[in-house]
Amino acid sequence: MVYTNQMQPQTFIFFGTSGSGKGTQARFLIDELKKKDPKRRTLYLETGEKLREFASKDSFTSKKAKEALDAGSLMPEFLPVWVWAQFFIDNVKGDENVVLDGVARREHEAVIIDSVMKFYNRENPTIIFIDVSPEWATDKLEKRAKTEGREDDREEEIKRRMDWFEKNVVPAIKHFKSNPYYKFISINGEQTIEEVHQEILGKIGL
């Protein structure tokens, strides 16, 4: 399918546990959108990256956010919501494709994303869930820790993130899956990167 300026702009929201490769797949999808629809802007928001960027600043709130990140603590809900709101307010003009990663990671935050989609008339937003088992993702993260020396991929931190995903993010995913406003697609993430990419393209019709 080739999008034209007469067609509705597209919205894609990625979900998946740490190690699922959703960030990589989001970037691949952005490249495809730019190739297929070069005249339309494609916006990308990765909440974690924006929060880390904010935490590097010198304000009192930024320093508090950095303390939370360094301790592996949860961010208070108002900060990610502020990141999303700022992103949409500053960037959305109504005719762009939007790709979101790391939004609505708690069920009550999903309701906020609902309000964003409807306020901006983002019709038929698509949820892309990269589905992998905890064991598969853990193995992936442990290998990454060895090759890249990632401090946040320590064994105890991996377990904490997996438990948090199951407790908080899974209910948010179920919210979107049961909401007819969204198109929900589940992708087998336990394939090669290219196979996952091709499955996504096939299921979204791109």
Bridge-based pairing of strands 11-15 and 97-101 is parallel
Q: Tell me the C-alpha to C-alpha distance, in Å, between residue 124 and each of 11, 32, 117, 167, 195.
A: 8, 19, 9, 27, 25
Residues 102-120 pLDDT 10s: 999 899 999 999 999 999 9
144 in a domain, yes or no? yes
What is this structure's pTM?
A: 0.90
Q: What is the pLDDT of residue 152?
A: 63
Q: Give how far the C-alpha of residue 196 lies from the chain's centroid of Cα atoms, to the nearest Å.
A: 16
For residue 98, list its beta bridge partners: 11, 43
Residues 145-177 pLDDT 10s: 778 776 666 788 888 889 999 999 999 999 999
Q: What is the pLDDT of residue 3?
A: 42
78 in a domain, yes or no? no
128 in a domain, yes or no? yes
User: E strands of the chain, at which residues?
Assistant: 11-15, 42-46, 97-101, 126-131, 183-188
Residue 7 banded pLDDT, cuts 50, 70, 90: low
| Dist CA 35 CA 150 (whole Å) | 33
Show the domain range for 152: 11-46+97-204
CATH code of the domain containing 144:
3.40.50.300
